[in-house]
Structure formats: structure tokens, C-alpha cells
Amino acid sequence: MVIELVKEFLQDMRSHRMRTALTLIAITWGTLSVVLLLAFGSGFGDAMEEGMVNAWNRVVILYGGETGKVYDGLPKDRPIRLTEADAKLLKETVPDIVMISPSYDKNAELQYGKTHLTTECEGAGPDFEVMRAMYPQAGGRFIDANDIRYRKRSLFLGPTVARHLFKGANPIGKTVMLDKVPFTVIGVMEKKLQTSMNNGPDSWRAIIPYSTFRIIYGRKHVNSILVRGVDPGAQARMMSDIRKELAAKYRFDPTDKRAINMFDTMRIDDMIRKITLGLDIFLGAVGLFTLMIAGVGVANVMYVVVKERTREIGIKLAVGAKKTYVLWQFVFETLLISFIGGSTGLLLSWGIVAATGLLNTNGGALRFLGRPVLSVGIMLFTVIALTLIGLVAGVFPARRAASVDPVESLRYE
């Protein structure tokens, strides 16, 4: 039966080449739209999540504030300013903290030879490397414990700063004047995608040990303290413990959220995931509607085919063909058209995705689009959608064909 159905399909294709070609193009285009929209949407979502992780990797940022409540006989509106000692206290008393770093920052002038530039200078500790995804290029390193202990004049540069200062030369071991104080370059950060930032991108930063920063600039209070917990599920508990410890030290109400400002970057992660999920749903719906329009076109073509072959169908029924055979004949033809057009669309999509993946998207606006992802889920969604649309597009014309009256059909020429 299947062989006979294939023979009849091929014969119909030869008889109506243009109509068949246009129908296949419609299905191919619909499939291409679904797959590419989902693939590029998935790649964009991955790029946004990667960019967020590269800016803040599960970090809570603590800022000093001012009290908003009267507490223990002390007035409200008292300023609370954080220090390096607070970072040490929290590390020792809050068990959920696995990484912590004080952070100072200011604009600083860098000079190497005759080249001058002004950029954001930040004083930080060793844990800053992971929390801010500031990984060094080969041959260099980040700030370590000895840099902090001995207040070394070590300098870690963002790649853009290094390129402007050294014009492509190897900066490791070179001496740079930072606000007229000599520092030795110990490392350059690898390039990274960053979609969130504080006072500019990390590629434009200069990092020195926080202990050195405090001595050189005479700072008493830090700008912020960065904290990372052992488990994302313990984030709320860790933040509550942090507030309790600082409340005990500075004598403010532990429920007073104005006293210590906390920025939980995982909330931004959740927001980005929801945005990318919504984008995937929207793009999938747009592609699916495009494919459904192609399916309507296929159904219209099959109605025309049924009308043209009414006499042939009536003769088959008159000589004993079962209605189920006629029904499956047209459903099979519709599914076969959907399969051929869908397979062509999938192959074209795979080729476009593969070619796009070879492009260099590290620079310019294209890096924020990410690389399209042709996942198993996208393929499965497309196949199921094609099958359902093919069935729906074929069933109604097939039912009309199966209901043909053999006697009335002989009147058609």
C-alpha cells in the first residue's frame, strides 16, 4: 500500500511540478523560520546569561547606608560606613560565606612611556577574580594573598587598558605609573562578554591589592564589600546573618534595611532568565504561526488536488477501493510534502547555524547576539509541529475525497 501511495505521489509531482515546488518552498520557509528564530533566540539568551555571570558571579554587594530607625537609645539617620575589618568579621562569623573581598575604587591616571590614560582603579582581594570573572591571560596572574599581606604594588589590567598602554607589546613585568606611583603589571584579564557593569566595563579597569590602595590613598572606609555564598539556596539566610552581625557591631536594628544596602545579583540572573524564556516563547510562536500559514497553503493545494482528481477518486471507489485507502492517500501525500519540505528546511537551518557559529562575534555589537544553538529540543519541537500541521492540513481534504459519490464523480471531466 505504501509503495502504491509513493508511486501516485511521484506521478502527481511530475504532473504538477510548479504547484508541488511552491508548496515545498512554503513548508521549507516555515520550517526555516521556526528553527532559526528559536536557535538565535536561544543563543541570545545564553549570551545574556554569560554576560551577567561575567559581571557578577552569584555575588551580594554590601554598601554602607544610614539607619532608618531609632535603636537602643541611638537616633536614626546615623551613617554606617564599612571597613576592611567588617569583611574579616563576616568571613569569620557567617558560615555560608565562601568568598569575600573589600572593594575600593576611584579614577586614576596610568602612564607608560609617553602614553597617558584615565580609568577606573579598584582595590580588591584574591576572591575578586572568581566573583567578577576576571581571569588572567596565559603568562599572568591575579592579585594573591602575598600581594595583600605585603601591600605590594601589583597591577592587574583590563585588556583594553593594556592594549592602549602597550600597543600590542607584552605588559607582564612592565612598570606602569599609577597616579605617579610605580606598579608592576602582573596580569591582563582575558576578554569576556559583559552585559552588566559598575562604573564601566571590566576591560577598562586597573586592579591593585586593597591593602595597597588603602595605604596609598589613605582610605578608612571601603566603597563596598563583595560576598559569595556556598549555595544559591542559602542566599537569603546568608544575607540575614550578615545584617545581624553588622547590626550587632554598629548597634542598629537588624530589620533596618536602610542601615546596610545589599544588592543581590542573583535577582538580576532570575530576571534575565525570565526575559529569555519569554523571548523564546515569543519567537517560537512567531515561527509556529509562519509554519501554520504554510500549512494552510498545503491544505488549499490539497483541496485543489481533490477537486481535480474527483473523477479518478470516484472510479477507484466504484471498482472497490476502500474509503480508508482514499483517505490515507491524501493524508500520506500531505505528510510526505511536509516531510520533504521540513527536512530541507532543517538542513538549511543547520547549515546557516553552523556557518554563523564560525563567524567571529567577539567584537562589536554581534557579540551580544551570541551564537545560535540548534538543540535537540528545538529539533523535536519543529518535527512535532510539522507532523501536527501536516495531519491537520491533510485530514480535511482527505475526508472530502473519501466522501465522493462514485456516480456523481463520473460527471466531472
Domains held by the chain: number: 2
Same domain? For 162 and 23 the reply is no
Does the pLDDT value for residue 212 go beyond 90?
yes
Banded pLDDT at 388 (limits 50, 70, 90): confident
Does the pLDDT value for residue 190 go beyond 60?
yes
Does the pLDDT value for residue 107 go beyond 90?
yes
**Cell 549570551 sits on residue:** 47
Same domain? For 146 and 239 the reply is yes
Same domain? For 13 and 95 the reply is no
Same domain? For 197 and 304 the reply is no
Which residues share a beta bridge with 187? 156
Encode pLDDT of 20-58 as tens digits.
Answer: 777 778 788 888 888 888 888 888 777 777 777 667 778
Run of H or E residues at 60? strand 59-64
Residues 196/51, Cβ–Cβ less than 8 Å = yes
**Range with the largest mean pLDDT of 168-177, 326-335, 371-380:** 168-177
Same domain? For 9 and 121 the reply is no
pLDDT for 369? 65
Tell me the three cell numbers of residue 247: 547590626
Span between the terminal Cα atoms of the chain, in Å: 27
Same domain? For 169 and 225 the reply is yes
Selection from 209, 192, 231 nearest residue 60 by Cα: 231
Please say which residue of 238, 264, 290 terminates a domain. 264
Same domain? For 110 and 197 the reply is yes
Residues 108/217, Cβ–Cβ less than 8 Å = no
Encode burial over 331-355: b for 16+ CB neighbours within 10 A, e otherwise.
bbbbbbbbebbbebbbebbeebbee
Same domain? For 248 and 354 the reply is no
Selection from 249, 296, 204 nearest residue 85 by Cα: 249
Provide DSSP, 185-234. EEEEBPP---S--SSS-GGGEEEEEHHHHHHHHT--S-SEEEEEES-GGG
Same domain? For 317 and 376 the reply is yes
Selection from 41, 395, 99 nearest residue 238 by Cα: 99
pTM: 0.74
Does the pLDDT value for residue 200 go beyond 80?
no
Please say which residue of 264, 283, 303 terminates a domain. 264
**Cell 474509503 sits on residue:** 323
Please say which residue of 224, 240, 264 terminates a domain. 264
Same domain? For 182 and 67 the reply is yes
CA distances to 112, 282, 287, 292 from 166, in Å = 8, 46, 49, 57
The SS3 call for residue 157 is: strand
Same domain? For 180 and 139 the reply is yes
What is the Cα–Cα distance from 282 to 274, expressed in whole angstroms? 12
Structural domain of residue 43, as residue ranges? 2-53+270-409
**Cell 587598558 sits on residue:** 161
Amino acid at 74: L
Same domain? For 111 and 84 the reply is yes
